[in-house]
Amino acid sequence: MTGAVLALLRRLASWLVRGPDAPYVRGDLEEAWERDLGRGIPQRRALLRYGWNLAASAIAMGRARLRVPRTGASWLDLKLGLRMLRKQPALTVVAVFALSIAIPVSLLPFHVAQAFKVTLPFDEGERIVGLRNWDTEASNEQSRSLHDFHRWKQELKSYEAIGAARTDPYNVISEDGRAAPVRGSEVTASTFDIVRVAPILGRRLVEADEIAGAPDVVVISSDVWRSRLGGAPDVVGRTVRIGGVPHEVVGVMPEGFLFPFRDHLWLPLRADPLDYQPGQGPDLVVFGRLADGVTLAEANAEIAGAGSRTAKTSPSTHARLRAEVVPFVQVTMGGELDDDPGFYALQVLALILLAVACGNVGTLILARTSTRSAEIAVRTALGASRARIVSQLFVEALVLAVLGAGFGLLLGDVVARRIQALVASQLPFWFDLGVKPRTVAWALGAACLSAVLAGVVPALKATGRGVQRTLQRATAGASGIRFGGMSTGLIMTEVALAVVFLTMGAMLAPSVLQDRSEGMGIADEEVLASTLRIPRVDPTSDQAEEHERRFRVRVATTQQELLRRLAAEPGVRGVTMASSLPGQDHREVWVEVEGEDRPSGSQGHWLRSVLVDVDYFRSLRRPVLLGRDFDRADLVGESIAERPPVIVNTSFVDRVLQGRNPLGQRIRYIPRGGGEPSAWYEIVGVVGHLGINEINPARDEGVYHPVPPGELNPIRIGVHVGADPAAFTARLRALATEVDAGAMIQDPMPLDEAFSEVRAGTQWGTFFLALLSAIAILLSSAGLYAIMSFTVAGRTREIGIRAALGATPESILRTIARRALLQLSAGVAVGLVAGGVLVRLLEDDSAVQPFTPWTPLALAAGAMLLVGMLACLPPLRRGLRIRPVDAMKEA
Amino acid sequence: MGYLGEFEQLILFSVLNLGDGAYGVAIREDIEARTGKVVSSGAIYTALGRLEERGFVSSRSAAAGAGRAGRPRKYYALEPAGARALRSTWTTMQAMAGGLIPRLTELAER
């Protein structure tokens, strides 16, 4: 990492440090770096010093070369810049809009990485670390680390304390009988020493609580205290039932304390390593507080030593594990983002996007500058230095860029908060996506960079020619500036991008604009959807098999009994269970049909499959259209094991079987990455549309499998109750708790809302694409407009003379519009090719699959051509209206 | 005689202090060590370039030292004209400041 940054800085030094003294300065940079390291300055700091020295040197030497006076820019420039904003509102709007999107997007990867780098909000929170076993072959964490936890606790000396937690949802039944799942953790008593947070009421957990057979106690969050126990001041000593077992509340933690993840309950961790084999037992998160003076590197060295000793004594479980210590936030969120090469690629890509946007705004500014070439020439003649004029144009661009960055930050903050609100329950308590001071600083940096790209480059171009020539041309009514190949390339790229983005947007649009109920097949606004989960208890080694058998029986009994009671409940019209309900996310699979040649290079037919209760279609009142429905006999018996039955839908018959008779046909699954196909399944029936593809009902080929009770845990459960299904939640929870005190009803919501949530992701994607398309269209149109206006302004005299000599309007039109139209059509052509490749790539993909993928592409290309030509119209009209007399007058 | 800016004075004093060993990195570290100000190498060379044009310092190129990736050093020496300019600027400043420092301190700390 350091090496790469250093290499980059050296390359920058060879580019940026110019002038007669450059070799000495570059030598000094190197020597200073060596000396800094020699003095024991940490590499990171030394790199920062190198970077600062390089940047400051480049500026100082660049200034000396350009002879910029020390007060190059002034308040006057700022005032001029602000006045230009008002004078040319169209340019202002386009440029600010483009930058207000480009700047936040360019910072997005960096911003997200920063959100992972926070310190826990506790006293010396940066000293809280996670200890884990990293599986070097599977590249994931091996979290069944009960044995290691106890070994680490005894052997390691780098910590004030080590603790562990096992996080799970618990069914909490308060005194009034209300039940709801609450996320909580079994934790060691040491956890409270590590976080250094004391309860606001009662006591924390202590070691005596961890002994098996000690009274059942719980510490609760402020939130649970208020919402479930009415915030009673005498809460300590009261009883709540957790998974059916009464627990005494012994303490309440302060507001906002949700360690380790987003937990609201803390129970004593009572797992005994003697009950489990090494590598078995509960999933644990292990953490500790580094002792005073111990660095992360030292702690890592120590745990690596302990890890390799364990690998020697128990190679079967530990040979591929690497014990390591990482900042705590990494334990709960996986790896560190910016260690990933893909992250850098993304960041570079984002910066390229910014550069493209800046290049474009630069084109517009250049066009504007061209109309001011006379002003510039006169100012130069009156004694303004080139640097003075460049700095004025820079400040003008800077005003635009800072405005863009400001709007961009506001927009980014709104979007980030929206996203955070949507997924908050899935994120650790410390995760905050909001805009922070550091992001603001980076955005201002990006604004300066944008101003350099969009302001200085055109300014250098505008001032580069001899004053004499510019003055001559200026007096002749023309501009001294020409557009180069750069702007041509930019406009072409944007036209092409606009076509591609428009195509993707158009491909996604049908799924966003579709009628919600289409393809759903049921009145989903009358159904209460939820997830029924029976919490697992990790079996001890000697009882594993027996435990597993008993647990399955318990799940099966609970599911069946709950179904029975719900069906008997007044007002309930139907109830069913499945791995996914209509409109929820379904598993994507690849299937081949027996006796049908798989097309070469294809993985078979892409579709969705779902496991359903045998009464699924009956309870949803969607009878089979052909063949037979599932029945109990499909769940048992040897003939079933040989010829397991499935039911397919009409889309499957239409698209996979091309309308052939499905009954008796056999299908099997092909694993995505290759490998052994599954057993053959026999099609016994056909049903209609039933919301199997929540994103795109146009592609809802699907296969239904019968599933016996107890097989799935958790399982989705749908209760058809009629109007206001949400009101039934409390009753559903009460029934579930009656059946099994540990059973939890999670995420209850009307099925149509569940569907909207699933679709929200696609909507965001489409919105984002629409935004990108809008930017690309706006920028390319503005660019085309600028070039056309420029051509017309620059060739007024020529056009006038040609008109005077009798040229037809058509030939004049050709003269003016040739270049812009060439760029436009070349861009559309490139866009068509790129879009064609994209359509081919996405042809088999899930979300973006309309019937005719080529229609959106053709529409997008046509739309772009039209918009491009419209952008050319106003300057064209201006060109055609030039009268020879006026042109001559100007001359 | 010629006016010297604050930065130029810093550099000239440093060149004087370092004697035969006055080159970029040494000057930079000398200024940092004695004033706490961190200055860029580029700024030092551009300032010394101006001072050389005015005849206040002279320079000679020398072979690469250790840790410079093969790049040469440029050593500077204070010329009599530079010494006079520095002395003049400094004495002017001292003459003006004479007896005023206690009042200045008092005002600054009020």
pLDDT digits (tens, 9 = 90+) for A540-584: 667 778 888 888 899 999 999 999 999 999 989 889 999 998 888
Q: For chain B, give the number of residues.
A: 110
CB contact under 8 A, B46 and A24: no
Please give the residue of chain A at the shortest CA–CA distance from B67.
A31
Q: Tell me which chain B residues have a C-beta less than 8 angstroms from the C-beta of A32.
A: 25, 28-29, 41
Q: What residues are paired with A750 via a beta bridge?
A: A528
Q: What residues are paired with A323 via a beta bridge?
A: A133
pLDDT score for A418: 80
The CA distance from A628 to A704, in Å, is 13
What percentage of chain A exceeds 90 in pLDDT? 19
Q: Tell me which chain B residues have a C-beta less than 8 angstroms from the C-beta of A61.
A: 42, 45-46
pLDDT score for A474: 47
Res. A824: pLDDT tops 90 = no
pLDDT score for A682: 92
Region A395-417: what's the mean pLDDT? 87
The CA distance from A392 to A403, in Å, is 17
Region A470-494: what's the mean pLDDT? 59
- Cα angle value A660/A662/A663 (rounded, 5°): 135
Among A126-130, A571-575, A691-695, A733-737, name the one with the lowest average pLDDT: A691-695
The tokens of A110 are what?
């960096």
Question: DSSP characters for A566-604?
Answer: HHHSTT--EEEEESS-TTS--EEEEEEETTSPPPTT--S
The CA distance from A724 to A435, in Å, is 38
Among A37-41, A440-444, A501-505, A526-530, name the one with the lowest average pLDDT: A501-505
Q: Distance (Å) from the C-alpha of residue A55 to the closest C-alpha of chain B?
A: 8
pLDDT digits (tens, 9 = 90+) for A138-195: 777 888 888 899 999 999 999 999 999 998 888 888 777 788 889 999 999 999 999 9
CA atoms within 13 A on the CB side of A645: 23
Res. A691: pLDDT tops 80 = yes
Among A81-90, A477-486, A642-651, A708-717, name the one with the lowest average pLDDT: A477-486
Q: What residues are paired with A159 via a beta bridge?
A: A290
Burial A263-284 (b: 16+ CB within 10 A, else e): bbbbbbbebeeebbebbbbbeb
How many A/B residue pairs have CB atoms within 8 Å? 83
Res. A467: pLDDT tops 60 = no
| Higher per-residue pLDDT: A381 or A159 | A159
pLDDT score for A71: 46
Interface of B with A in 29-88 (CB under 8 A): 29, 38-43, 45-46, 49, 64-69, 71-74
User: Please, are residues A194 and A123 in contact by the beta-carbon 8 Å criterion?
Assistant: no
Please give the residue of chain B at the shortest CA–CA distance from A56.
B40
The tokens of A843 are what?
């042809």
Please give the residue of chain B at the shortest CA–CA distance from A17.
B42
Cα–Cα distances in Å, from A785 out to A364, A386, A689? 9, 29, 49
Name the residue among B43, B49, B71 with its Cβ closest to that of A26. Answer: B71
Which of A18, A31, A37, A39 is the best mutation test for B, with the most CBs of B within 10 A? A31
- Asked whether this complex has an ipTM greater than 0.90, the answer is no
Residues of chain B with pLDDT under 50: none
Region A825-847: what's the mean pLDDT? 74
Element (H, E) at A421: helix A386-423
| Highest mean predicted confidence (pLDDT) among A338-347, A787-796, B70-79 | B70-79
Q: What is the 3-state secondary structure (H, E, C) of A511-531?
A: HHHCCCCCCCCCCHHHEEEEE
pLDDT digits (tens, 9 = 90+) for B37-62: 889 999 999 999 989 999 999 999 88
Name the residue among A27, A52, A53 with its Cβ closest to that of B72. Answer: A27
The tokens of A117 are what?
């780098």
CB contact under 8 A, B45 and A21: yes
> Residue A684's pLDDT band (boundaries 50, 70, 90)?
very high
For chain A, the average pLDDT equals 81
User: Please, are residues A170 and A242 in contact by the beta-carbon 8 Å criterion?
Assistant: yes
Name the residue among B38, B69, B72 with its Cβ closest to that of A24. Answer: B72
Cis upstream peptide for A104 (omega within 30°): no
> Residue A477's pLDDT band (boundaries 50, 70, 90)?
very low
pLDDT score for A253: 95
Q: Which residues contact A25 (CB under 8 A, 6 or more apart)?
A: A17, A57, A61, B24, B41, B42, B45
User: Looking at residue A291, what DSSP letter applies?
Assistant: P
pLDDT score for A212: 86
pLDDT score for A640: 66
CB contact under 8 A, B42 and A26: no
> Residue A340's pLDDT band (boundaries 50, 70, 90)?
low
H helices of chain B, in order, are 6-18, 24-35, 41-53, 80-97, 101-108
Which is it for strands A239-242 and A179-187: parallel, antiparallel or unpaired?
A: unpaired
Of A799, A789, A791, A814, residue with least CA distance to A887: A799
> Residue A511's pLDDT band (boundaries 50, 70, 90)?
low
Res. A311: pLDDT tops 60 = yes
Cα–Cα distances in Å, from A691 out to A39, A200, A611, A748, A762? 68, 49, 14, 19, 16
The tokens of A67 are what?
């002879």
User: Please, are residues A578 and A748 in contact by the beta-carbon 8 Å criterion?
Assistant: no
CB contact under 8 A, B25 and A64: no
Element (H, E) at A41: none
The tokens of B18 are what?
């370092």
Residue A90: alpha-carbon gap to chain centroid: 33
The tokens of A169 are what?
């949802």
pLDDT score for A681: 92
CB contact under 8 A, A23 and B40: no
What percentage of chain A exceeds 70 in pLDDT? 86
Question: DSSP characters for A165-198?
Answer: EEEEEEEEE-TTS-EEEEEEEEE-THHHHHHT--
Please give the residue of chain B at the shortest CA–CA distance from A37.
B67
User: Please, are residues B18 and B58 in contact by the beta-carbon 8 Å criterion?
Assistant: no
CB contact under 8 A, A32 and B25: yes
> Residue A856's pLDDT band (boundaries 50, 70, 90)?
confident
